[in-house]
Structure 1
Amino acid sequence: MEEQIEATTFTLRVKSEAERRILSELFPGADELSWDDLEGARRDFIIPGLLTTGGICVICARSNLGKTFTYVDMVCRMACGRRGSASRPDRLRR
């Protein structure tokens, strides 16, 4: 009985590996995109030139440079339906 279980397990592993290899050969992969390809893509901006609809934005900088202010400003503008550029704080703390 154990030999039959081992044989079945082995057969299933081989079959699974074969399917994985066949599918990986059929998958063309991601084509490389150039900057020119991306420039031609149509994008809807929430904040022109900065944040696209359905996009992801990362705000990173050293501490006390206005990341939270910028984030809150962007969120308030989106909530109010204003699509202009994000404003800047009058001065930066150093």
Structure 2
Amino acid sequence: MSTPKMFNHKTQLILVALATVLITVFTLHANGYLRHSSEQDALYISEFSLIASVPGAQGLVSTKPADFIARCDGGYLVMDAAEKVSKNLTGVLVDQKNRLISCR
């Protein structure tokens, strides 16, 4: 009597491929190579504009201060949210091409 084949060759290949992907993802996650970002990591807070100081040109600005505080940290401009928005909200300032804005 011969034992019936449980799986054919194609099914075995699919199961091995699936197991390989799952083991690879688990190993990368366990070693810290996969980073799961939260919504707050990619949060677009606000858009900023540059008011150039050109002699003779008049720029109108509000007298009310913004809800953000800028500071220089590690050579880059970091924005902290004021108490009204969120106490723990911090991020680096980037331009339209996501390049860091440096400060001195």
Give the TM-score normalised by structure 1: 0.34
Give the TM-score normalised by structure 2: 0.32
Q: Which fold has the larger relative contact order, with Cα–Cα distance below 8 Å and residues 6 or more apart in sequence?
A: 1
Structure with more of its chain in strand, by fraction: 2
Structure with more of its chain in helix, by fraction: 1
